[in-house]
Amino acid sequence: MIFTEASAHFVRLCANKPIHFIVSTLIVSSVFYLTIFDHYISKVNNASYNSLTFYHAPGNTNSSQWNIVANDTEFNFLNEPSSDSPVSHYIVTPLIFRAHSKNVPLPVNTTSLLSGSDRHERFFISNISSVAVPPETFENVDGDIFKLRPSNRLGRYYEYFKSMASIIKNAAAGAEPLDLIMVALAYAAMLFSVIQLFYEMRRAGSKFWLAFGSLLSSVIAFLFAIIICTEIFGIDLPLASMSEGIPFLVAAVGFRHKIAYTVPIMNAIRKNPRSNIADTMSKVVLTTTASPLIKEEVLAAIIAGTVAIFSSNLTGLYNFCILIAVLMITDLFITFTFYSAIISLKAQINTVHRQIELREALEEEGVSTDVATSVAVANTDGNQKQLFEHNGSIWVFKIVLILGFLCLHLFALGTSWLYDDLSDFSASTSLFSYSSSEYLTHSLADKVPIGNNGTLITVMPAKIYRRITLVTNLEDLLFDFISRISLAIRDPYVSKFLFMVAGVSSAINVYLLNVARNHLFIEAQSSMSSKKVEQSENVSSTRSENSRPLSVEKKATKNEKSTKPHTFSHSKSRKVVSDSVDSSTNSADNVKDHEIVEDSSEDESVRPLDELVEIMKAGKVSEELNDAEVCELATRGKMPLYALEKHLGDTTRAVVVRRKAIAKLANAPVLTSGRVPWKDYNYDRVFGACCENVIGYIPLPLGIAGPLIIDGVPYHIPMATAEGCLVASTMRGCKALNAGGGVETELTSDGMTRGPCVRFPSLSRAGTAKRWLDSEEGQKSVKEAFNSTSRFARLQHARTALAGTLLFIRFKTTTGDAMGMNMISKGVEYALKYMQEKCGFDDMDVVSLSGNYCTDKKPAAINWIEGRGKSVVAAATVPADVVKKVLKSDVDALVKLNIDKNLVGSAMAGSIGGNNAQAANLVTAVYLATGQDPAQNVESSSCITLMEKLPNGDLSISVSMPSIEVGTIGGGTILEAQAAMLELLGVRGPNQKHPGANARQLAKIVASAVLAAELSLCSALAAGHLVRAHMQHNRNSNLKSGAVKKIAPTPATADGVVKKDDVKRLKQGSKICIKS
């Protein structure tokens, strides 16, 4: 559809240049807004400040006989001079004097200044034949100066509201009660639509900005529609008519179309965080949102236009229908342009903030700044929904923005905020009391003489005089300053200069946004492919040489030794790339190619060691030394192996050189082959974060178990293991658990611990420190010190234990989505320092930051009792028929086996947290697959498995694991393969909406996987399947080669007779264990 394609094109254009379209649209809409504001407000002001004329017939001095002159024709007729004498005509200007004190005398009366009924009132009277203007200042008998002030008091707002109330009252008086109820319901529905907009946009991931942008775009569309109707079509749109009709329109149309337009776009951007935002938006608009939006808006415009055609004789309805039709079209245009630019800008800012959050979290976990930045750029997580970290400064900005908008309009409506207050205002001295009343005050009428031919009195708007004080002088200075600025801005040269400055400012904003966007997308792509590009250049530059036979290449190299100088560029020195750079596997051909490249490096010239050392000291290793020379420096002890990355500036080249050096030092030629792979790996993420002295990587088989339904959501669980039958056994457990409805989990505790050891000179001092730490004051002080070190770590409590003069303090801390050992160690170090310097424990000596009271990577009862990391309980119910058909066992046998093996057996062994069958198997496999610390398997595998038979015969099984130590940022999670597995589980990176939610969910997944493995293994043990299953998996190759003779197991019975049913059951069980 042409309209859909055009809309997608507009969206892509606006999304690529969001600031351009936002600024230009706001400038145009501001002009329209000021035009409309001036148009409607000027009518109010003119109505408020028009003079009124009253006439009194001759021969009657009764002050109550004054009549208002209704129109200009009547005024001109009365004001025409007669043959005898003209009508007496006086100009009266009410003056109001303010002195802030009743004791200050007012200016004295003169022939032109008459007193009124109120103490503050004076009337300045002049004849029409000699019109006099009230002076700027008056002086009283004490010498106080009263100066004319702008007639824009706070009381004027009262007049606006009073006037509005009067209009509403008059309109309501002539309306039916049902009409009033309908209008009130329309306003309530409009308010509900706005509230619903903010609620739905909050669900879409924005607490303020998207909803505000939706409202703003609708208002701009409304401004465009009013300008088109009034200026182009010449339609009169009274405020009263719009105030009655707009609520019905908003209630009927609402903001559903904006929500339906926004949510799919934001979801698509979150699902594809690395894709181009403009392309993603254009695709969603083209395929999903444009067509229904266009149909809805155009249909509404057609309906409104049709009604307008058939109601042309009803002016009010006709005008309003035309306004609706135009509004639908302008709203459609603004949505595809201005609002799309807002969404694009919002998404780009979201991405920048997520990157910053991830980088800061990685840095707090001890990852180097370069690696943290690289990971943050390339691994912006799509699960994060929150735009900003909602801190105080952003809320202040929002409030100031709204207040500034309101204050601007209040000032435009007219007020002097510096000196007026409600106490100064009274209804009797209303500014409008002299211009809107249809009668004269008696105090004025009595002072005007009646002429022979009648008398006319024109009452001008009231003027306010205030006694000059410091406040009024300040106001004068302020207004003088503003007026001078306004005058300067109107200067043709200054205005052009300011316009240029505004353009430069907008250009700078555009530039900064483009820099951020390029940093996110272009840099992310280049960081992932930089080495491949460089390697491809090396391949193309040496393609002709590598295509020749090896002997020819060697001869050419020998000839070059005597003719070419010893100068090497960075690219030429790296002869370590095979022709199959993009290959992700290490085939035999790859190994052969690698060996050829390694052999060719042996023919590289090596200069004298002294010369190489001088080049190294000059810092030109990467530019002037080839790999063989760098290897020579390393093997001679002149360059540490761990410093190769620093000297070479290339992590991949450092790995190759280190392999050669260690192969020589350890006499291990295997390192020069492809048996230990090194290619096609991003070592930038490893260096400074995961490993040192890197020579490659170890491939580990990766399997997937599942899906397993956990809390109603299916998960495919990655497992990296070299143990056969483990994944298959877990698969069978997942199948059985899913048949019973899946796994239910509960997280009972979340807090990583660190337990430093400190020493005091005496037991009394150690006891004092313990009592202080256990007190409320001590806990509060330590928490404040600890929490000041991190944006993410928050201390829950500190438990203490005393052993002689040694005090052990166990800090328990939430660490967000990080596992948190580095984060908490930094906080503990500062907290101990704070105790020494600020809390009076300067005699405290820190023995060790980790005093084994944590306890980390060691079995400990304190972890089993109090927990460490995430404490999770996972439970499920397995129907009895599933136990029999899938697990090939029965409930009674499983329950008895669990008691005898996992409970009694572990108790006899004195095990702490070892009341399980194979929790460590699953914990380690999932940890390796998801980048966790495998050494923490020691405490993370603490688990108690419980089984019982339910009254209906089903099996209830649960695992309780109090010390699951996992994280989704930092450590091995920054590696690409491990990060991909976290993404598979939907828990990659930090969760900004609910910090720590991703790590907690990963802990629940680990516990659920353990539950599946426990169920399957215990079933196999109860049925006697274990040995056969492992033989089938782990001895399969030997059976095929004939090395081991296939022997069918014969289970023993009490009488020595094997039952055929038992044999059949064993065979079926082994097949299921294998196939599942």
Q: Show the DSSP H helices in 50-134 as ranges.
A: 72-79
Residue from 601, 638, 596 nearest 621 by CA: 638
Print burial letters for 692-724: b (CB count within 10 Å at least 16), e (below 16). eebbbbeeeeebebbbbbbeeeebebbbbbebb
User: 381, 593, 933, 1014: which one is catalytic?
Assistant: 933
Whether residue 723 lies in the annotated active site: yes
Angle between helical axes of 776-787 and 821-838 (0-180°, round to 10): 120
User: 424, 523, 595, 723: which one is catalytic?
Assistant: 723
User: 857, 949, 1067, 1071: which one is catalytic?
Assistant: 857
Distance separating alpha carbons of residues 239 and 259, to the nearest angstrom: 29
Q: Show the DSSP H helices in 821-960 as ranges.
A: 821-838, 861-866, 880-885, 891-897, 906-908, 919-930, 937-940
- 943-949 and 914-915: which strand pairing? parallel
- 463-467 and 88-98: which strand pairing? parallel
Q: Is 887 within 8 Å of 881 (Cβ atoms)?
A: no
Helix (H) / strand (E) element for 744: namely strand 744-754
**CA torsion through residues 284, 288, 292, 295, sign:** positive
Output the six-digit token pair for 300.
Answer: 């509404």
Helix (H) / strand (E) element for 645: namely helix 644-648
Q: Is 377 within 8 Å of 524 (Cβ atoms)?
A: yes
- C-alpha distance from residue 343 to each of 120, 129, 266, 296, 338 (Å): 57, 66, 8, 21, 9
Print burial letters for 385-423: b (CB count within 10 Å at least 16), e (below 16). bbbbeeeeeeeeeeeeeeeeeeeeeeeeebbbeebbeee
Output the six-digit token pair for 549.
Answer: 């036979």
Write the burial class of residue 582 (CB in 10 Å: 0-12 exposed, 13-18 middle, 19+ buried): exposed
Before 707, cis peptide (omega within 30)?
yes
910 Ramachandran zone, left/alpha/beta (phi>0; psi -120 to 50):
left
Angle between helical axes of 209-227 and 315-334 (0-180°, round to 10): 130
User: 257, 870, 1030, 1033: which one is catalytic?
Assistant: 1030
DSSP3 helix / strand / coil % (the chain, rounded to 5):
60, 10, 30
Q: For 702-706, which contacts have Cβ atoms below 8 Å and span 24 or more sequence positions?
A: 702/929, 702/977, 702/981, 703/727, 705/730, 705/731, 705/734, 705/1009, 705/1012, 706/731, 706/734
Q: Is 372 within 8 Å of 379 (Cβ atoms)?
A: no
Output the six-digit token pair for 702.
Answer: 């990766």
Q: Is 543 within 8 Å of 563 (Cβ atoms)?
A: no
Distance separating alpha carbons of residues 737 and 739, to the nearest angstrom: 5
As beta bridge partners, residue 878 has 955
Whether residue 1030 lies in the annotated active site: yes
Before 855, cis peptide (omega within 30)?
yes
Q: CA 114 from chain center: how many Å?
A: 68
Distance separating alpha carbons of residues 894 and 916, to the nearest angstrom: 13
Whether residue 594 lies in the annotated active site: no
Q: Is 697 within 8 Å of 705 (Cβ atoms)?
A: no
Q: Show the DSSP H helices in 102-208 as ranges.
A: 155-173, 177-204
Whether residue 680 lies in the annotated active site: no
Output the six-digit token pair for 625.
Answer: 């030394």
Output the six-digit token pair for 342.
Answer: 């807002």
The catalytic residue positions are: 723, 857, 933, 1030
